[in-house]
Amino acid sequence: MLLCIDVGNTNITIGVFDGDDLICNYRMNTKVRRTSDEYGYVLHNFLTNAKIDTDQIEGVIVSSVVPKIMHSFRNGIVKFIGVEPLVMGPGVKTGVSVQLENPRSVGADRIADVVGAIKEYGYPLLIVDFGTATTYDYVDENGVFKAGAIGVGIESGANALWGQTAQLPEVEIRKPRSVMGKNTQTAMQAGIFYQFLGGFEKTVEAFRSECGDFKVIATGGLGRVICQHTDDIDVYDPNLIFKGLKTVYERTREYEASRKNRGDSEHREDEREACSALNV
């Protein structure tokens, strides 16, 4: 089994593959001050709850946009799961050409989303991840990750609204029955929802005006708030990042195995040449 983990700014999402099947997934808050034991214990409990023994986990891959926790998080995986994780970063094999000004600056979660989307849905694509931030990543007709846009996430924007105003309450983020809010709560829900929906659709329109036609793949926990109320989303895939991480893991391990085989073959050839020289 393969354990796939995405460490985001707000949440850590965890998925387990048995072969090609995603058999379970979990979510927990990202807390910088957790110890390695705390992280490892929570991960172990998730697996136990899913009736998965740690001995069944053959590999672990992690993408992270929170460097501060990675030392503790990695140690927790090693201690409680018994596997050294593969961490998204330099050296992993994504199979995707990233033609941005500084590819190393692109978040690991965005790369994983792009890898998963290309494998699952082909290209050209616009991948929209509704998370703490809302990211738009464009993949052209040649499968090249060409450009992107990053905006405020719907929940981040809403938190700023009620966090910076003394009399506005925290409300559930959802589509109200009407844009005509009759009280503070429904007025806030209408403003948050329609402002975000309109911003999303306008951004997709701007990409189309510059890039032509493409398929829009949406993901992220808050994507379900939007996807049912717009024609601009072709597919909503909440498990996209897990599919991308699985693909990256498999490609990296295949590369490492082929490199080892090449190294063994070269070593055997060197031995044969040495033996031949001795026999002359």
Q: Tell me the CA distances in angstroms from 234 to 22, 124, 139, 162, one per residue in order.
A: 22, 13, 15, 32
Distance (Å, rounded) from C-alpha 168 to C-alpha 185?
Answer: 8
Distance (Å, rounded) from C-alpha 66 to C-alpha 64?
Answer: 5
Which helix (H) or strand (E) is 131 found in, with range? none
Please give the backbone phi and psi of residue 33, each rounded to the nearest 5 degrees, phi first. -90, 10
- Exactly one of 109, 129, 137, 232 is catalytic; name it: 109
DSSP E strand boundaries for 153-219: 215-219
Distance (Å, rounded) from C-alpha 225 to C-alpha 39?
Answer: 30
Percentage helix, strand, coil, to 5, in the chain?
Answer: 45, 20, 30
**Residues 6 or more apart whose Cβ sits within 8 Å of residue 213:** 124
The dihedral built from the CA positions of residue 160, 165, 170 and 173, taken in this order, carries a sign that is: negative
* Contact criterion met (CB below 8 Å) for 35 and 72: yes
**Residues 6 or more apart whose Cβ sits within 8 Å of residue 146:** 99, 100, 138, 139, 140
| Residue 37 bears catalytic tag | no
* Contact criterion met (CB below 8 Å) for 130 and 225: yes
Q: What are the catalytic residues?
A: 109
